[in-house]
């Protein structure tokens, strides 16, 4: 699965404040999945219905894009139809969210996800 996720207003404000203060912006540390399929909004502060959160496998920057890799295991979301994904910063705040068609994973399966956070 590969998705482009626009950085939300809150995360863009954090990055701008860090640049203005000459400090580092918060890093991206986690990915989260949820069961709410409502469309994503620039004002989203959290997933609509979070069911699983885990550290990301990696995060790399190139130009104005941040690519985040995360592997979701079916056992972690057993019994849920996953409909949303989010990138979470080191403060525990949502940096971006994307909704998609329901995805159900069986225990013993996994899906590698590439998320591209766009500023």
Q: Are 82 and 49 in contact (CB under 8 A)?
A: no
Q: What is the model's pTM?
A: 0.91
Residue with tokens 């995805």: 103
Element (H, E) at 17: helix 9-21
Q: Report the number of distinct structural domains present in the chain.
A: 1
DSSP 24: P
- Both tokens of residue 33? 């999945």
Residue 88 has which token pair? Answer: 């979470």
Q: Which domain holds residue 57?
A: 2-118
Q: Which residues of 33-53 are buried (b: 16+ CB within 10 A; e: fewer)?
A: bbbeeeebeeebeebbebbbb
Give pLDDT, residue 63: 85
pLDDT per residue over 52-105, tens digit each? 999 999 999 888 889 999 999 999 999 999 999 999 999 999 999 999 999 999
Is the pLDDT at 1 greater than 60, yes or no?
Answer: no
What does R_g of the chain's alpha carbons equal in angstroms? Answer: 14
């Amino acid at each position: 699965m590969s998705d482009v996720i626009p950085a939300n207003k809150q995360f863009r404000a954090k990055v701008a404040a860090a640049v203005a203060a000459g400090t580092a912006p918060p890093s991206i540390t986690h990915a989260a999945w949820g069961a709410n399929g409502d469309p994503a909004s620039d004002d989203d502060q959290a997933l609509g219905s979070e069911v699983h959160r885990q550290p990301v496998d990696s995060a790399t920057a190139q130009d104005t894009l941040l690519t985040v890799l995360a592997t979701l295991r079916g056992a972690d979301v057993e019994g849920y139809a996953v409909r949303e994904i989010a990138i979470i910063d080191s403060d525990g705040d949502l940096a971006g969210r994307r909704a998609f068609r329901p995805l159900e994973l069986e225990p013993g399966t996994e899906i590698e996800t590439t998320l591209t956070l766009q500023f």
